[in-house]
């Protein structure tokens, strides 16, 4: 949209000013918000922000420039040429990669001919993302570049465009020495799917690189080209064990009597067990009971790895009976992604879990609570691999699971899934709090807050999803949530959203959140005052000791107001626990009163300062008022009053 009305112009001006805000999250949010507004007039200001010292700010500025579209393509290309060979050229290349305007295709395609790496990379990425066939000739020409990264970017963009001309151009890369290009060629052949393409895929099953072989196996798994049954059956007889497994898996797509007969023979032959299980899996998919029976027998094998292979085969056949065996086969370190075998088995496990369906989702969710990080990571990856289908059960876990760590992991996974429908559930998790007067809640949350990781993960997930509906709630969490971890997560999420109106509010000074900390500090100091007065009168300590203790409590209030963390309170309480008995011992031993006072006041103050971060000084000026004035007056008055009553 064009910035035309006065209100929109004012909003743009406020966001441009926010690009110089001291808070990097505000700068990042403002940059992205300008892109969302299509504020072409802010292009020069965004170009200047590409030199920001914070990566997220630079990243958002690049994305914003891309969102401005065709009107600023010439400006970007001119700056690219002016900054050749500098770090800013990389940032400008990234900005070009974010372009999604179809009107920019012709200019970008022409730029491929004269730009040098790395500026060319962003142009190639943009052309792939825009997906217009007009870019295909320029990208095909770039396949002949001597720069390997330029060729990879061009090949990926041709694959993304996906037209017949684009993917056919990739077949010339099947013999390329770069395995990444051969992998892209394999994926292109899978999109064509005709008989010559399938025949070419059969040859790449023997590629020396694992990534190319695995890409070929995946591509063949989707082949349903009519008339290829006999070709595949013939190829089955002359292939390696890996190729046999891939072909046997593909034959499960062909309900032909000749296929069933050959798979039955392969299942009973002596040789590689995994190949036999793959044949049985394909027979089970074709409705042949012999295949499922063979796998079920193998599930009772004494060898753990064989049982896992059988569970994978049963799951990939879509049999719900595989749910239990698949979960049972997960052992610490069993599926190590650092090894080729581990990567292969993890991928097959993911395929099996997806094929089994909802019956296995709940056991996977329960694995998120285990202590072993490898199994937790596998369960998380498997749930994300399920795609949108996992969103609803994970949202339910976020709202109801008794363990906060599982709820936090569910929020993180929802963020990885990126489904906008779950923003409401994440927003509800952000609102989670205790009931009662807010300053008291704030104080309790400072001392004990088990759900802070859940709220922080929910905030981060909203930022990942890009759910603008949660922006207002994020701003509230950034300012009012008692946990600094949640404050930081909410701010970072707002920076990733770039909601224009909310960003302007985010940039404005606001002391209400700091005053909440001050009120919580005042409550803590009232309690300290009462306890100090009681101890003073019961033990007969001089008033100087009480006043020194209250001065230490005031320092506690200052430190807590400045930082807003539970740590200063805990350190100050520890100091009080040490100081009061020490002061009493010194006083009863006939030591000078000033020494007792120094101990009673100095140790709490020292404890409070131990938890104080000086970096927060300028940001927490509101706490200065609450901590010193409210805290000292409130605690001192209460303590002296109670002391007089007891006396």
Q: What is the pLDDT of residue 430?
A: 87
pLDDT of residue 587: 63
pLDDT of amino acid 593: 57
- Quick one: pLDDT band at residue 615, thresholds 50, 70, 90? very low
pLDDT value at 610 more than 60:
no
pLDDT of residue 240: 83
The answer to whether 586 and 528 have CB atoms below 8 angstroms apart is no
Q: What is the per-residue burial (b if ≥16 Cβ within 10 Å, else e) of 172-182?
A: ebbebeebbbb
pTM of the model: 0.76
Give the model's confidence band at 589: pLDDT under 50 very low, under 70 low, under 90 confident, else very high.
low
Angstrom distance (rounded) from CA 506 to CA 23: 10
Residue 127: both structure tokens together: 């052309």
Q: Tell me phi and psi for residue 511, to 5 degrees.
A: -105, 0
Residue 185 predicted with pLDDT over 90: yes
Q: In the structure encoding, which two tokens stand for residue 402, read together? A: 């008794």
333 token code pair: 């370190």
- Say how far apart CA 276 and CA 255 lie, in whole Å: 18
pLDDT in tens, 347-404: 898 999 999 988 888 888 888 888 788 888 889 999 999 888 889 999 999 998 989 9
**Contact between residue 292 and residue 256 where contact means Cβ atoms under 8 Å apart:** no
Question: Token digits for 276?
Answer: 């036999």
Quote the DSSP letter at residue 191: H
Cα 61 from Cα 495, distance rounded (Å)? 11
CA torsion angle for 486, 490, 495, 496 (degrees, to 10)?
Answer: 100
330 vs 418: CA distance, rounded Å? 27
Residue 624 predicted with pLDDT over 70:
no
Quote the CA–CA distance of 233 and 377 in Å, as a whole number.
Answer: 38
Cβ 259 vs Cβ 228: under 8 Å: no
Burial of residue 592, with CB atoms counted within 10 A of its CB: 0-12 exposed, 13-18 middle, 19 or more buried: exposed
608 three-state secondary structure: helix
Which run of H or E residues covers position 563?
helix 543-563
Nearest to 142 by CA among 163, 99, 182, 113: 113
Task: Answer whether residue 461 shows pLDDT above 70.
Answer: yes
Distance CA 21, CA 593 (A): 51
Of 177-186, 204-213, 486-495, 596-605, the one with minimum mean pLDDT is 596-605
Q: What is the pLDDT of residue 484?
A: 79
Asked if residues 481 and 512 have their Cβ atoms less than 8 Å apart, the reply is no
Report CA Rg, the chain.
Answer: 33
Reported as a single tens digit per residue, the pLDDT across 523-551 is 555 565 556 556 555 655 555 555 555 55
pLDDT digits (tens, 9 = 90+) for 31-43: 999 999 999 999 9
> How much is the mean pLDDT over the chain?
81
Q: Which two tokens stand for residue 117?
A: 């790496």
Q: Give me 27's structure tokens.
A: 């700068």
Closest-CA residue to 54 (of 83, 30, 85, 79): 30
As to burial, measured by CB atoms within 10 angstroms (0-12 exposed, 13-18 middle, 19+ buried), residue 231 is middle
């Amino acid at each position: 949209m064009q910035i035309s009305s006065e209100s929109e112009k004012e909003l743009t001006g406020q966001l441009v000013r926010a690009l110089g805000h001291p808070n990097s999250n505000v700068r990042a949010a403002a940059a992205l918000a300008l892109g969302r507004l299509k504020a072409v007039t802010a292009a020069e200001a965004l170009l200047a922000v590409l030199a920001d010292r914070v990566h997220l700010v630079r990243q958002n500025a690049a994305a914003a420039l891309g969102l401005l579209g065709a009107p600023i393509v010439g400006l970007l290309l001119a700056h690219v040429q002016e900054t050749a060979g500098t770090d800013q050229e990389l940032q400008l290349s990234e900005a070009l990669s974010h372009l999604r305007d179809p009107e920019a295709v012709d200019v970008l395609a022409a730029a491929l001919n004269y730009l040098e790496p790395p500026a060319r990379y962003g142009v190639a990425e943009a052309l792939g993302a825009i997906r217009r066939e007009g870019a295909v000739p320029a990208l095909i020409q770039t396949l002949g570049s001597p720069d390997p990264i330029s060729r990879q970017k061009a090949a990926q963009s041709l694959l993304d465009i996906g037209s017949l001309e684009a993917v056919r151009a990739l077949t010339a890369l099947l013999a390329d020495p770069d395995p990444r290009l051969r992998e892209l060629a394999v994926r292109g052949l899978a999109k064509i799917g005709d008989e010559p393409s399938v025949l070419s895929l059969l040859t790449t099953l023997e590629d020396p690189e694992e990534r190319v072989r695995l890409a070929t196996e995946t591509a063949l798994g989707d082949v349903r080209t009519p008339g290829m049954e006999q070709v595949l059956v013939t190829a089955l007889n002359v292939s390696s064990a890996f190729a046999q497994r891939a072909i046997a898996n593909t034959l499960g797509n062909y309900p032909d009597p000749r296929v069933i007969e050959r798979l039955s023979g392969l299942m009973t032959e002596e040789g590689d067990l995994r190949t036999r299980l793959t044949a049985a899996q394909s027979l089970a998919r074709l409705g042949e009971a012999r295949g499922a029976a063979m796998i079920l027998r193998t599930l009772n094998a004494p060898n753990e790895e064989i049982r896992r292979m059988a569970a994978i085969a049963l799951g990939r056949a879509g049999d719900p009976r595989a749910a239990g065996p698949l979960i049972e086969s997960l052992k610490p370190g069993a599926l190590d992604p650092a090894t080729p075998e581990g990567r292969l088995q993890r991928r097959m496990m993911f395929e099996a879990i997806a094929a089994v369906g909802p019956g296995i989702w709940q056991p996977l969710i329960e694995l998120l609570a285990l202590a072993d990080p490898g199994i937790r990571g596998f369960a998380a990856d498997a749930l994300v691999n399920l795609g949108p289908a996992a969103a609803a059960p994970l949202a339910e876990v976020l709202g109801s699971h008794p363990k906060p760590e599982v709820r936090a992991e569910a929020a993180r996974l929802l963020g990885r899934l990126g489904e906008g429908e779950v923003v409401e559930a994440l927003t509800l998790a952000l609102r989670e709090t205790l009931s009662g007067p807010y300053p008291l809640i704030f104080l309790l949350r400072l001392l004990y807050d088990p759900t802070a990781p859940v709220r922080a993960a929910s905030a981060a997930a909203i930022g990942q999803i890009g759910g603008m509906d949660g922006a207002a709630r994020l701003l509230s969490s950034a300012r009012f949530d008692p946990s600094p971890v949640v404050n930081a997560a909410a701010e970072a999420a707002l920076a990733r959203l770039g909601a224009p109106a909310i960003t302007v509010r985010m940039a404005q000074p606001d002391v209400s959140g700091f005053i909440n900390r001050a009120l919580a500090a005042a409550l803590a100091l009232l309690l300290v005052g009462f306890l100090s007065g009681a101890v003073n009168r019961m033990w007969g300590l001089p008033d100087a000791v009480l006043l020194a203790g209250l001065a230490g409590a005031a320092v506690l209030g200052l430190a807590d107001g400045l930082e807003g963390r539970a740590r200063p309170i805990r350190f100050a309480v520890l100091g009080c626990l040490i100081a009061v008995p020490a002061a009493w011992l010194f006083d009863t031993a006939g030591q000078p009163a000033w020494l007792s006072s120094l101990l009673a006041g100095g140790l709490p103050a020292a404890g409070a300062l131990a938890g104080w971060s000086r970096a927060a000084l300028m940001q927490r000026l509101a706490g200065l008022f609450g901590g010193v004035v409210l805290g000292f007056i409130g605690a001192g008055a209460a303590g002296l009053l109670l002391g007089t009553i007891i006396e």
